[in-house]
Amino acid sequence: MGQVRRLVSHSLGAVEAKTRLCSFVGSMMQEYPDQVHQLQIKFAGNELQVCFSAYGIQNQWLLRIYRDTIELTGSFPESANPYLGKIEKTVVGRIEDLMSENLQTARAA
């Protein structure tokens, strides 16, 4: 099993970070209809567990949401090893964008 672990810093607080993550995860199938299938989401306290299939590769992500950090752990089958860099770049990049202060400013405008 391949694994990716990353930390994403933010200054939003845990509640706003969780709100943004939940909104994004809930919209994944609409935003990426040709890529994302079999989406499953579980919430428990400050943890968000997301499982989905993308391009036939099963993705399992655990997101631990803290006041100023999100800890991301992704697990993938061995067959995904050649694509781990792209998967990590895509998922982590999207979450970094979500945690951007600019989104909060734009929402208030």
Domain boundary assignment for the chain: 2-108
Residue-wise pLDDT tens digits, 24-64: 887 877 888 888 888 889 989 999 999 988 878 888 999 99
The C-alpha atoms of residue 109 and residue 57 are separated, in whole angstroms, by: 39
- Using a 10 angstrom Cβ sphere, with 0-12 exposed, 13-18 middle and 19 or more buried, the burial of residue 106 is exposed
CATH class of 2-108: alpha beta
Q: Is the whole-model pTM more than 0.75?
A: yes
Query: What percent of the chain stands above pLDDT 70?
Result: 92
Contacts of 21 (CB under 8 A, 6+ apart): 48, 63, 65, 70, 95, 98
